[in-house]
């Protein structure tokens, strides 16, 4: 098959590719440099990297119930996600709620846009209350074109199920009448009912400007809270982590990227050069898209991107393996390149779409860090497919046209002896069961003494200690000098620090401290820094990840897994493939959980991101192997056990080098992050490395073997 590029076209395409790399490289450098990262023209950073605004509200309602407080926290969390998916809301003390929004520096602007939460009532024309704000699910300003063709500014209401029923009854009874909307005992709108409203949605018209409509929508949204809140204080807070955290992470990414490129070139020759060029473009596009779409980036987000760089190599590894196999059959290099891309297409598409389904479900149903992770994951998946299937192919064809046509530049797949994987299935199953059982036994032992897992601040709350120093300290000084002193009192390394800008105050968040421990901590600051003990303030704080958010995450993961199962079932026309893939996924999640339990790594906000990362990685790895099983099974009588075993073993042997190489490249990236990263990022990197090893093990030693067992024992067309 003739290559579509002639020499001149190949030269032109190659030069254009180099120009694109140089242009995107310069653009990325500007974004990441000290002059490019700023308040106006930069990638948006989270509270841990750039600071933001902290607003504390006083609960005005008398004797608020725990349910009302939790409901208010959850609704505020959903509302502030409009500013950033990394915003957090938590209870402080008994009667305060704190909102922290990253990437902004004007507290007054946020307060004005967020509004003062108060009581909202929908009344009849004679003043009787028939509906309260908690029956409003959402309110947004919009501009529509009315029947006369004129633009009109309205507020679009979305009601809860209960609110929809009440509103339908009242609007049916009051057509032509005014139903006032009252906020904090002040009438903010006098809408007239034109017709019965029974669909659970409504429009309030009559606003002269969009700003007026937006203000009304804000009042309605803030009035839908279960409790009345009053602003107590607002302040701009500094980054929780110093510049060292960013620089060390970027250094880890750069070194890891170089090592991956060296590995790819050494192992795959010319295709390795192609993959390296595509990988550079992929990385540059990631940076550009984060900037253009204003994705809020936190330290776990940086880790996730670094991990995605390693995973992006996978598609290229699949393609190159296929090309080598075709060359080994005696085909020409040109024909092998063409067939290699075609044969790799199904595995790449199925693997990435399965993971993309998970990302979409998590993005739609998740909250906070889950939603932020889903956005980053989706971006990585789409760019990975584009660079592998388009960029890699274009560059490879151009190099072939330039004269790199000999077989030696591309390599030839070696004939490998088929390994007896399925015959050793019970050994593999036993190893996994033993490790997981040991982890659960350890959790049981730790649980009898306190907590099965080492839950951090984000999950169980703690104590917030505000210390006013007589001079300002850099965040690096706080981390290196003060945090060890605090950990010495708490006996726990999970210490979060925040500086209040415009003052010398530093906030230390730790596990819940007893009165004696609070006194000991105060003494540390008095003795070492001369702080006046009477000026130190301590408050109990709730978890930043509420039970509702955890519920959202669990629900999103369950639905995502079900959707992945359905897709795999549909694509492979066999539910046993889907069940085996999900079982391998659960296996990897449990392995990472065992790591958290045995090593006692703090279970915080990064825990969710870690688990979601492993889910995405594991399912993609398994799909590639199943794709080869499906291919090898075509035209074969897999009802015979011997044939079934032969196909399973052959498929695993053929994809073994791909599984190992992908794991190596991904492991290199995350290992560099663990080696060079700050302490908090190491707590994220270690379980990820465990998950990578487990993901490779489950794909090679668990998933196909389990499919083999299910194929023999269950369902239609069982092997005999």
- What number is the average pLDDT over the span 334-347? 88
Confidence band of 693 (pLDDT split at 50, 70, 90): very high
**561 compared with 299, residue with greater pLDDT:** 561
Q: How crowded is the C-beta side of 716, counted as CA atoms within 13 Å?
A: 3
Structure confidence by residue, pLDDT tens digits, 427-454: 999 999 999 999 999 999 988 887 888 8
Residue 49 predicted with pLDDT over 50: yes
Q: Please state, in angstroms and rounded to a whole number, the distance separating the CA atoms of residues 434 and 327.
A: 43
Q: Output the pLDDT for position 624.
A: 86
What crossing angle do the helices spanning 679-698 and 641-676 adopt, rounded to 10°? Answer: 170
User: How far apart are the C-alpha atoms of 45 and 101, rounded to whole Å?
Assistant: 11
Superfamily (CATH) of domain 7-33+241-409: Multidrug efflux transporter AcrB transmembrane domain (1.20.1640.10)
Predicted local distance difference test score (pLDDT) of residue 425: 93
Where are the domains positioned within the chain?
7-33+241-409, 52-103, 120-224, 422-440+546-713, 462-541
Topology adopted by domain 462-541: Alpha-Beta Plaits (3.30.70)
C-alpha distances in Å from residue 300, one per residue of 87, 372, 480, 595 = 14, 10, 21, 18
Calculate the alpha carbon distances from 147 to 142, 192, 475, 713 in Å. 16, 18, 59, 65
* Residue 428 pLDDT: 95
Whole-number Å distance between alpha carbons of 133 and 223: 5
Distance CA 218, CA 117 (A): 9
Predicted confidence (pLDDT) per residue in 376-410, tens digit: 778 888 888 888 888 898 888 888 888 888 888 88
Contact 540, 670 (CB under 8 A): no
pLDDT at 41 over 60: no
How confident is the model over 159-180, as pLDDT tens digits? Answer: 888 889 998 999 898 888 898 9
Helices 605-633 and 333-365, packing angle to 10 deg = 140
Of 34-43, 606-615, 625-634, where does mean pLDDT reach its minimum?
34-43
462-541 has the same fold as 52-103: yes
- In order, the DSSP letters of 162-199 are HHHHHHHHHHHHTTTSB--EEETTEEEE--B--S---S
Minimum mean pLDDT range among 195-199, 308-312, 405-409: 308-312
CB 154 within 8 A of CB 204: yes
Residues 122-129 have a mean pLDDT of 87
Q: Which of the given ranges, 284-293, 557-566, 613-622, 641-650, has the highest pLDDT on average?
A: 641-650
Q: Rg of the chain over CA atoms, in angstroms?
A: 29
% helix, strand, coil for the chain, step of 5: 60, 15, 25
User: For the residues 618-623, what does the mean pLDDT come to?
Assistant: 82
Class of domain 52-103: alpha beta
- State the CATH class of domain 422-440+546-713: mainly alpha
Name 499's Cβ contacts closer than 8 Å, sequence gap at least 6: 51, 237, 238, 239, 472, 473, 475, 478, 505, 506, 507
Q: What is the pLDDT of residue 237?
A: 66
pLDDT at 653: 93
Residue 591 has pLDDT above 90, yes or no: yes
pLDDT tops 80 at residue 303:
no
The pLDDT confidence band at residue 35, using thresholds 50, 70 and 90, is very low
Strands 52-59 and 151-159 turn out to be unpaired
Task: Estimate to the nearest angstrom the gap between the alpha carbon of 50 and the chain centroid.
Answer: 19
Confidence at residue 78, expressed as pLDDT on a 0 to 100 scale: 72
CB 73 within 8 A of CB 546: yes
Indicate the pairing of strand 462-468 with strand 96-102. Answer: unpaired
Most confident of 136-145, 209-218, 639-648, 690-699: 690-699
Mean pLDDT of 64-92: 77
Q: What is the pLDDT of residue 134?
A: 78
Q: What is the pLDDT of residue 368?
A: 63
Domain 120-224 bears CATH identifier 3.30.1360.200: yes
The pTM of the full predicted model, rounded to 2 decimals, is: 0.74
Q: Which residues, other chains included, contact 663 with Cβ-Cβ below 8 Å and sequence gap of 6+?
A: 692, 693, 695, 696
Average pLDDT of the chain, as a whole number:
82
In angstroms, the CA 516 to CA 493 distance is 19
pLDDT at 702: 94
- Name the pLDDT band for 50 (thresholds 50, 70, 90): low
pLDDT, position 431: 95
Residue 703: band (very low, low, confident or very high) from pLDDT cuts 50, 70, 90? very high
The answer to whether residue 33 scores a pLDDT higher than 70 is no
CA–CA gap between residue 602 and residue 677 (Å, rounded): 16
Portion of the chain with pLDDT greater than 70, in percent: 87
Q: Concatenate the DSSP letters of all residues of 614-657 into one string.
A: HHHHHHHHHHHHHHHHHHHHTTS-TTSHHHHHHHHHHHHHHHHH
């Amino acid at each position: 098959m003739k290559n579509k590029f002639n020499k001149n076209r190949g030269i032109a395409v190659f030069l254009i590719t180099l120009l694109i790399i140089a242009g995107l490289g310069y653009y990325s450098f500007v974004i990441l440099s000290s002059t490019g990262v700023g308040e106006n023209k930069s990638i948006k950073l989270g509270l841990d990297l750039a600071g933001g605004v902290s607003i504390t509200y006083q609960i005005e309602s008398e004797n608020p119930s725990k349910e009302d407080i939790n409901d208010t926290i959850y609704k505020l969390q959903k509302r502030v996600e409009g500013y950033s998916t990394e915003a957090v809301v938590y209870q402080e003390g008994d009667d305060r709620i704190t909102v922290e929004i990253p990437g902004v520096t004007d507290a007054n602007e946020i307060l004005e846009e967020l509004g003062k939460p108060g009581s909202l009532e929908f009344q009849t024309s004679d003043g009787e209350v028939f509906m309260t704000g908690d029956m409003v699910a959402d309110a947004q300003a919009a501009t529509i074109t009315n029947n006369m063709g004129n633009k009109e500014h309205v507020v679009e209401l979305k009601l809860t199920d209960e609110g929809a029923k009440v509103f339908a009854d009242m609007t049916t009874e009051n057509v032509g009448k005014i139903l006032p909307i009252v906020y904090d005992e002040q009438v903010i709108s006098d809408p007239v009912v034109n017709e019965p409203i029974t669909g659970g949605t409504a429009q309030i018209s009559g606003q002269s400007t969009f700003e007026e409509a937006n203000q009304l929508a804000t009042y309605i949204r803030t009035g839908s809270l279960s409790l009345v809140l009053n602003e107590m204080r607002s302040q701009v807070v500094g980054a929780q982590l110093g510049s060292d955290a960013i620089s060390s992470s970027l250094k880890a990414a750069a070194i890891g990227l170089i090592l991956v490129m060296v590995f790819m070139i050494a192992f795959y020759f010319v295709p390795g050069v192609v993959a390296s060029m595509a990988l550079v473009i992929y990385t540059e596009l990631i940076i550009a898209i984060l900037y253009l779409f204003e994705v809020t980036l936190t330290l776990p987000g940086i880790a996730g991107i670094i991990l995605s760089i390693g995973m992006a190599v996978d598609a290229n590894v699949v393609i190159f393996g296929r090309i080598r196999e075709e060359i080994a059959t005696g085909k020409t290099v040109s024909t092998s390149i063409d067939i290699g891309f075609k044969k790799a297409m199904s595995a790449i598409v199925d693997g990435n779409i399965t993971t993309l389904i998970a990302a979409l479900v998590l993005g739609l149903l998740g909250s906070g860090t889950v939603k932020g992770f889903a956005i980053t994951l989706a971006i990585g998946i789409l760019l990975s497919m584009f660079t592998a299937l388009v960029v890699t192919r274009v560059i490879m064809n151009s190099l072939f046209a330039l004269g790199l046509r000999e077989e030696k530049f591309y390599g030839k797949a070696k004939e490998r002896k088929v390994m007896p994987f399925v015959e050793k299935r019970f050994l593999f199953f036993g190893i996994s069961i033993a490790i997981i059982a040991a982890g659960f036994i350890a959790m049981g032992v730790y649980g009898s003494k306190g907590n099965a897992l080492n839950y951090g601040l984000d999950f169980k709350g703690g104590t917030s200690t505000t210390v006013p120093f007589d001079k300002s300290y850099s965040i690096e000084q706080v981390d290196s000098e003060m945090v060890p002193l605090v950990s010495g009192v708490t006996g726990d390394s999970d210490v979060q620090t925040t500086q209040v800008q415009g003052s010398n105050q530093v906030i230390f968040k730790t596990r819940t401290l007893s009165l004696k421990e609070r006194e000991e901590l105060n003494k540390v600051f008095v003795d070492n820094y001369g702080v006046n003990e009477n000026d130190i303030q301590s408050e109990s704080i709730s978890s930043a990840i509420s039970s509702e958010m955890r519920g959202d995450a669990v629900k999103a993961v369950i639905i995502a897994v079900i959707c992945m199962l359905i897709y795999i079932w549909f694509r492979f026309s066999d539910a046993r493939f889907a069940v085996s893939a999900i079982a391998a996924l659960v296996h990897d999640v449990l392995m990472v959980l065992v790591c958290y339990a045995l090593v006692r790594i703090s279970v915080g906000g990064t825990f969710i991101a870690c688990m979601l990362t492993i889910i995405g990685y594991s399912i993609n790895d398994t799909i590639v192997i199943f794709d080869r099983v499906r291919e090898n099974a075509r035209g074969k009588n897999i009802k015979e056990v011997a044939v079934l075993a032969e196909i399973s073993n052959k498929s695993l042997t053929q994809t073994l080098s791909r599984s190992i190489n992908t794991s190596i490249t991904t492991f290199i990236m995350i290992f560099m992050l663990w080696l060079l990263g700050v302490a908090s990022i190491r707590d994220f990197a270690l379980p990820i490395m465990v998950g990578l090893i487990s993901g490779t093990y489950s794909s090679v030693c668990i998933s196909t073997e389990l499919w083999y067992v299910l194929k023999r024992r269950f369902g239609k067309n069982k092997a005999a």
